[in-house]
Structure 1
Amino acid sequence: MTVEPKRLLILACSHRKRPDSGLLPAMERYDGPQFQVLRKFLREQPIEAQSIDTFILSANFGLISANQPIPKYDYRMSLQRVQELRPKVSCELEQVLQGNDYSELFISLGKNYWQTLEGYERLVPAEAKVTIAQGSQGGRQAALRRWLYNGLVEQSYGHSVIATQGKAQIRGIEITFTSEQAVELARQALAEGHGDPAGYQSAYVLVDGQRVAPKWLVSQLTGLPVGSFHTGDARRVLQQLGIEVKST
């Protein structure tokens, strides 16, 4: 019987959390877009999921297993909290890596969270392949999906589709969102106040009745600055993803 190489996934906690009272496993408590992608993968690929260990970097708890029960809380990763957590997180990561021969690591963290992992390179085996997801939430979410499925088949509405179906490309960045996933990410970005969604002139996209600029939406999906591409590029990308772009 072939033993699958073990892979390690490290995600930052999300602001969006399920409001259930009592304790929930961390993977269920956090409800941001990346955790929705992860739970979908676990449902669809339970055998492959057994080779992945998932840990979550929490501003409140440090580096915890995705299965650790936690309550609902509201705690931000301030710069002061970074300083407090850094030695604790370093020790916790060292403990995770000890005795586990991980062939791959995937790390997706926001700016302040990254500072708590400062010096992680010295702990990771030299032969392990490390993937760092950077940029906007959309870009990190797409990178996570690619890493998880790694050529497997993703299920969508009861039908099997290749995970990269409906892809678009801009400035060398490949986007693999479905239209539903892109809109969900737009909702999250709007809720968190990212960028200037109202900066449109001749075209817009409707997100729950709110008009947003096509360039803003593509920027959220890719991490590219809005000034690095044209509105025509944004329209093409969104149309390839099945998102309707309306004219003013």
Structure 2
Amino acid sequence: MRKVDDFMTSHRLLILSCSQTKRSQPEALPALERYDGPAFRVVRRFLREQPDPSLDIYILSGKFGLISSNQLIPDYDHKMSQARALELNSSIVTHLEATLKVHDYQRLLICVTKKYFKALESYHQVIPISVNVILATGTLGRKLSVLRQWLYGDSLQVLAPVINEQPTDKIHFKGVELNLSDVNFSEVARQALAQGKGKPYNYQTWYILVDNQKISPKWLVSQLTGFPVSSFHSQAARRLLLQLGIPVYCDL
């Protein structure tokens, strides 16, 4: 396991979505100071307590696109719409790709709302395999919890596999008995990835590894069983994979 000192000195990249709450000073302010939502308060407090020159912060803005936290911006009111997110997508992903070449980033946290995430679609295509990516999703409380842990490094279990249960051939899932004894799980995943099925990279903190790629456990379970990802919980997916002897990993 990596030491906290190593964690704090590796280059990290944080992407936040802008907030409707803003400081109203008439003069231009750095973006990190202008936006005043809960996530920005958490980040500013962290930087006061533990200044971290290895941390780069970028912000998704409906008006400005992907901007550095240091960029000076005015007070404004411009909400992100789905159409605007789609309009910005190409330029934002291109900007992200260029940003990732500035430093040899080891860790990336994306902490944005669903509406803003639309502007990041296909982001995984420009992320090097070596970068440890976490998506903070769910409720606001869940996102803030992930953000705090990621910033402070409170709980590091980098590539620490969950202890596997005893593998078994026949298992029950959603009331159906499945016989997966002859299934090559890696080949199923590779074929589905090649065919572009579903959203394999849409995971939060738990993932599996397929050819050194981090893949959503729910996505793989959906490919194995035919059930849509919306029909079962993440915990059920992890339990199924563990029963099959497939390691599940956690970044936090």
TM over 0.5: yes
Q: Supply the AA of the counterpart residue of 1:145.
A: R
1:86 matched to which residue of 2?
89
Task: Report the secondary structure of 1:73's partner residue.
Answer: coil
Equivalent runs, 1:124-163 vs 2, <5 Å: 124-151=127-154
**Mapped partners of 2:40, 2:132: distance in 1:** 22
Give 3-state SS (helix, strand or coil) of 1:102's partner. Answer: coil
Query: Displacement, 1:99?
Result: 3.2
Give the AA of the match of 1:93. L
SS at structure 1 position matched to 2:25: coil
- List gaps (5 residues or longer) in structure 1: 153-248
**Residue by residue, what CA displacement relative to the aligned partner does 1:3-43 show, whole Å, maximum 9, x if unpaired?**
92100000000010001102000000000000000000000
1:123 Cα deviation from its structure 2 partner: 0.7
Classify the secondary structure of the residue corresponding to 1:57: strand
1:37 maps to 42
1:104 aligns to what? 107
Aligned counterpart, 1:58: 61
Shift of the alpha carbon at 1:138?
1.2
Aligned length: 149
Correspondence for 1:123 among 122, 126, 140? 126
Distance in 2 (CA, whole Å) between partners of 1:88 and 1:44 is 34
- Structure 1 residue 87: Cα displacement: 1.1
Structure 1 match to 2:32: 27
Separation of aligned partners in 2, 1:37 and 1:137 = 12
Question: Which secondary structure state, in structure 2, belongs to the residue aligned with residue 94 of structure 1?
Answer: helix
Please report how far the alpha carbon of residue 125 of structure 1 lies from its aligned counterpart in structure 2 after TM superposition.
0.9
C-alpha separation in 2, matches of 1:81 and 1:53: 25
The answer to whether the aligner puts 1:10 opposite 2:15 as a matched pair is: yes
Residue in 2 aligned with 1:113? 116
Indicate the SS of the match to 2:9: coil
After superposition, what is the alpha-carbon deviation per residue over 1:170-207, rounded to whole angstroms, capped at 9, x for unaligned?
xxxxxxxxxxxxxxxxxxxxxxxxxxxxxxxxxxxxxx
For the residues of structure 2 that align with 1:75 and 1:111, how far apart are their CA atoms?
A: 17
